[in-house]
Amino acid sequence: MRKPYLAGNWKMNLDRASSLALAGALREHVGQRNDVEVAVAPPFVYLPAVVEALEGSPIRVGSQNMCDQAKGAFTGEVSGAMLRDVGATFAILGHSERRHVYGEPDALVNAKVHHALEVGLDVILCVGETIEEREAGETEKVVRRHLTEGLAGVDGLSKITIAYEPVWAIGTGLNATPEQAGEVHTYLRGVLEGLFGERAAETTRIQYGGSVKPGNIAELMAVDGVDGALVGGASLEAESFAGIVDFDK
């Protein structure tokens, strides 16, 4: 049984006061609920404050990115150990904005995955095709490559969640239809099974991300194989993220 996993990726939004207000409101809303897993990924600089604001809450706090190196002359980067040090428990890696805006290749994403696991961070590994790739019939090829190369050399999936985020659905208001999400999630689980075996594939959660809102979360979560959501814009306000967390109410 895969517990639904709803995570908010705040991207480069909010400020200290609004981050704390949002964390506080979510804390109150989620209470000690444990039938769903809820997580937030604030900007690096607000991580310690948000961790503190959520102490004692089951809501997990993680980062949106991470350096692949442990320490040293890497100006502007943040290490996995630093993230652990301030209380983060997971890192989102391979997000499409990292891949497409900042040119992160699969090999770098893979190095980050390894480093995160080494320091004890869980990982949300993002995969997804652009509209050009979808229209060229390359969706499966692209997400297979993201998975296979992103997870190369990884021993097991117990610390890993996959997020299927079609690039054309991110921030556009145009979410994948339940059918489109279902097709890709089924395909991804098959790839995971080939790589890690049936049991690992069955227990690994695959989130959907891309224009998730309170109004479409129920139909997406109803799809076999959709185990949660990675939410951008709609995670920035307590009311809309709460509506996503409460998808089955």
CA distance 249 to 245: 9
CA distance 90 to 62: 5
| Strand-strand pairing, 206-209 and 122-127 | unpaired
Does position 230 interact with ligand 13P (CB under 6 A)? The reply is: yes
Does position 9 interact with ligand 13P (CB under 6 A)? The reply is: yes
Per-residue binder mask for ligand 13P (CB under 6 A), 166-205, x = binder: ----xx----------------------------------
Candidates 32-40, 132-140, 177-185, 231-239; binding stretch for ligand 13P (CB under 6 A): 231-239
> What percent of the chain is helix, strand and coil (3-state, nearest 5)?
45, 15, 40
Is 165 assigned a catalytic role?
yes
CA distance 108 to 11: 20
Residues numbered 47-106 forming contacts with ligand 13P, rule: CB under 6 A: 95
At CA 17, angle to CA 11 and CA 19, rounded to 5?
30
Name the minimum Å distance from CB 211 to ligand 13P.
4
Is 95 assigned a catalytic role?
yes
Residue 83, H or E segment: helix 80-85
Name the minimum Å distance from CB 41 to ligand 13P.
8
- Binding residues vs ligand 13P (CB under 6 A): 9, 95, 165, 170-171, 209-212, 230-234
Active site amino acids: 95, 165
